[in-house]
Amino acid sequence: MSGQAPGGQGPRNQGSGGQGPAGQVDVRGPRFAAAVTAVVLAVTVLTGSVWLLLAQAIVFAIGAAAGVQAAPYGVLFRRLVRPRLGPATAWEDPQPPRFAQFVGLLVTGIGLILAAAGVSGAVVIFAGLALVAAVLNAAFGLCLGCELYLLGVRMRARA
Amino acid sequence: MMESASRDVRFLVGAGIITGLVRLPFLVDVSRALLLVGLLAVTVAIGTYWRSRQGGVREVLDGDVLTAAELGVPLGERATLLQFSSIACAPCRAADRILGEVASRDEGLTHVDLDAAQHLDLVRRLNVLRTPTVFVLDARGRVAHRFSGVPTPAGLATTLADVVRACEPSRS
């Protein structure tokens, strides 16, 4: 989606970390992305900027559609951050963080739609909700997807 | 070439952050700053409460009896660890690894990891509300204990000892 080939890494990266188990990503990548997301959303709450919320929603959309490695913060991590860190020691499946991007897109998307409809305070409120979810995920390891996904499936099956 | 490029990037990022910080006080009003502090306080409260409940274990009285046919695998000789997971759940992977290791060290133990969305009948019967949820079944398949979240190794060890001991008199 972003036009980045997986092999497009700087020369300093080669041989430093190598590749983990097939299909897995360096755990520090999604954590870095969650931290950047939290800062962007905190500034959105402070400024009430609809453009900043739109930018973050686009980042969420790319992450949900193309995976966390192709999303802007993932690319930023690989290009600028990881070459300065030691080799990766832990790996994780990229599917759960990708689902979290989808949850983020849902929350920020609702905020944007309400803001476009002229609801005052929608930007600040939904940026705040997304911020709570992002910090819970990044600092406490609480993934709202794990808590709510099953309840959603149960309700849908009953209907 | 690489060095000067990364220095440029560093300069731009630094200049951006400083400009943002200088302009921030003019863009922000006090109520929004207070809102942000409040949101972070609520987040820490939720996170702390949630973390204190992770891996908590509860004894199940009058537990249902599950059969090998319902689980899709034979019951463990001494106990069975029945785990419910969902696709987008990182803690479930951790629980799967921990329980798999415990079961591989003990021949009398079986570990089953089921996708909750594919086993809604069992999910309803056992009232599973979140993933991971882990049940410890005794040798006869009776649900004896329930863990909410990733079980702690210590909690798991005492629970297993309990379950195995409770079953022994009836077997002898």
Mean pLDDT of all residues in A9-32: 62
Q: Position of tokens 């909690």?
A: B155
pLDDT per position as a tens digit, A38-81: 999 999 999 999 999 999 999 999 999 998 888 999 999 989 98
Residue A29: HSE in the Cβ half-sphere, 13 Å Cα cutoff: 33
Provide, rounded to the nearest whole percent, the portion of chain A with pLDDT above 70.
85
This complex has an ipTM of 0.72
pLDDT at residue B170, as a whole number: 53
Q: Which residues of B touch A47 (CB under 8 A)?
A: 24, 27-28, 32
Calculate mean pLDDT across residues B55-81.
Answer: 89
Q: What's the pTM?
A: 0.70
pLDDT of A28: 85
- Given a cut of 70, whether residue A8 has pLDDT beyond it is no
Report phi then psi at B51, rounded to 5: -65, -35
> How distant, in Å, are the alpha carbons of B85, B98, B124, B139, B168 from that of A153?
13, 26, 11, 31, 39
| Chain B neighbors of A145, CB-CB under 8 A | 86, 88-89
Q: Does A136 touch chain B (CB under 8 A)?
A: yes
Cα of B27 to nearest chain A Cα, Å = 6
Tens digit of each residue's pLDDT (9 = 90 or more) over A90-115: 787 777 788 888 889 999 999 999 99
Q: What pLDDT score does B134 carry?
A: 95
